[in-house]
Every structure is written in C-alpha cells, then in structure tokens.
Amino acid sequence: MLQEAQKTQSALGHFNVSDLVQLKAVFEAARDLNLPVLVGASEGEREFAGTRQLAALVKSLREEFEYPIFLNADHTHSLPKALEAAKAGFDSIVYDLSALPFEENARQTRAAVEALKSINPSMLVEGEIGDIGTGSTIHDDAPRAPQPLTTASEARQFVAETGVDVLAPAVGNSHGMRKSMVTGHEKKHLNIERIREIKAAAGVPLTLHGGSGTSDEDFVAAVHAGINIVHINTEVRLAWRHGLEQGLAAGGKDEVVPYKILPYAVESIREVVGGRLRLFSNLPVAA
C-alpha cells in the first residue's frame, strides 16, 4: 500500500481510535471511498481498548470484508510495549524515542527494529526524529516556540543507522490543536521544501504526525512532496465529542440506549475521516 502511495503521490490516512465507535466510523468512511486505511492506537488508547482486543477487532474487519485496513501501534516509547503490540498482531509500530538525543534515539531504535522484525519480519517500523510536541488534545496556551525542523542529513543518517521502514520528521507539524484551530481561525503550515529534501535524502516513506488543523493546501502540497501517511487524531476526537453531544441532545435525558445515541458520533467522525481521505488520495473534496 505504501509503495503504491509513493507511486501515485498520495498518502494513506491514519486515524486513532480507542473505542468501537471510532473504529466503526473510520472503517465505514474508508469503505465509502474504497480506500485502504490505517487505524492507530497510542499506548494510552491501547490501555483503554485493550491491545489484543483492538488487534482482534481490526483483524475481524480485514478478514470478513477482505478489506485493506491495518493496525498501527502509535507512539510507543518502550521496547516491552512495542513487543506486546507485535505479539498481539499489530501491522506496524511507531517507535518514538524522539525525546532522546539523536544518537541515543538511533541506537535504541535500531535495537527495536531488530527485536520487532524477529517477531514478525513483515511488520513495518517507523522511527521519529525532531520535536513536534505531545498530546492530541485542545491546547489553549500561547503558540509554542518554533522548534528546529528535521534536516535532510539527519533523516539520511537516521534511516541508514536504524533500518526503519518509515520515517516521521518534524516539518512544521505538531500534535494537538489550539483553540483558534478548532474554530478555523488559524491553520498549521508545513515546510514543503524541507519535506522534498528529506524525502530525497531518506529514500523511505514519510509520515506526517499531528495533521489535525493543517490547511488543505499544505496537505496536498506535502503529499505531493513525499508524505505517504498522514496522522489525524484530534479532529477525530473533536468529531466524536460533537457527535456524542448531538446524540445525547437528540434522545433527550431519558434516552439510555447506546445504539440510539452513538450513531450520531459515528456519523460525525465518518464525515471528518471521509473528507481527509479524499484529500490525501487526490479525490475531489465534496462541497
């Protein structure tokens, strides 16, 4: 799927889930468009939903519908957590030691690549360099001081030293959304030229983390410059909450049937995911 994305200058959408409502919505949105999709779960999301349980749910969708849906262990910070996800049957992992100094990050990521491939040789391992902040939530503080972007030479060196299949650089992206982004008054902007340089130097598929709140134009340009996976989490969480509030309001205070309330959340997420998938796949975005 990633090789195909590189050939067609498109990107796979990656959407985080921590419950069945989100998973159902992401799967339905992808099926509406007949596009492959990546589902991600961070350490916290896995802890809530269950690592093996999530793997079983995604596997059941893939098998029953013969559908290209894949499960990624997002932002995994320790080898035991990475091995747990690999043994549970996750298809890929983001091994994130980006908070460590570069050389230490490279050394430990290389060891993790070897350990993970020994469990499942076809598992994809993504490494991460640069600081893009933490927390796929609503941030109300002042803008972060601009962090240094990943350089092309760092990207080349990191991929060569670690053997990662996929690289996540810092190119102006950041986790979470500020309130001004939720209202649409502000958009994130990416350094497209830097993406192009990193792509040429790294020679592997690139992931853009922290995609929520990025301008449509920058997404399209970034994908054409070499991004092959785009992570969206905060926008999914926002849609989940809005949909849930609608469902609770629509049912009135005596409504207690989950399958009457929760379809509003599914619908709300499905709409957001569908719009993003269209954009990443160069399909016309519905008006």
Regarding 237 and contact with Zn ion (CB under 5 A), the answer is no
The residue among 124 and 261 lying less far from Zn ion, judged by its C-beta, is 124
Q: What is the DSSP letter of 185?
A: S
CA–CA gap between residue 129 and residue 164 (Å, rounded): 12
Residue nearest to Zn ion (CB): 209
Give me the least distance between CB of 80 and Zn ion, in Å please: 20
Report the nearest approach of Zn ion to the CB of residue 132 (Å). 7
Q: Which is nearer to Zn ion, 84 or 131 (CB)?
A: 131
**Piece in contact with Zn ion (CB under 5 A), picked from 27-35, 106-114, 148-156, 226-234:** 226-234
Determine phi and psi for 40, rounding to 5 degrees.
-120, 150
Identify which of residues 231 and 278 has a Cβ nearer to Zn ion in the complex.
231
Q: How far is the CB of 211 from Zn ion (least distance, A)?
A: 9
CA proximity to 250, closest of 236, 260, 238, 240: 260
CB of 71 to Zn ion, least distance (A): 15
209 interacts with Zn ion by CB under 5 A: yes
Size of residue set near Zn ion by CB under 5 A: 2
* Closer residue to Zn ion in complex, CB, 231/276: 231
Task: Work out how close the CB of 231 gets to Zn ion at its nearest, in angstroms, rounded to a whole number.
Answer: 5
Q: Which CB atom, from 199 or from 231, has the smaller least distance to Zn ion? A: 231
Least gap, CB of 203 to Zn ion (angstroms): 22
DSSP H helices, 50-101, are 51-64, 79-88
Classify strands 124-128 and 92-95 as parallel, antiparallel or unpaired. Answer: parallel
Give me the residues paired with residue 95 across strands.
76, 127
Q: Which helix (H) or strand (E) holds 199?
A: helix 192-202
Residue 84 half-sphere exposure, CB side, CA atoms within 13 Å?
A: 18
Question: Could you tell me the smallest distance in angstroms from the CB atom of residue 60 to Zn ion?
Answer: 26
The reply on whether position 178 binds Zn ion by CB under 5 A is no
Alpha helices in 15-170 (DSSP H): 20-33, 43-49, 51-64, 79-88, 102-119, 152-162
- Which CB, 136 or 162, lies closer to Zn ion? 136
Largest CA distance in the chain: 60
Residue type, 151: T
Q: Which residues bind Zn ion (CB under 5 A)?
A: 209, 231
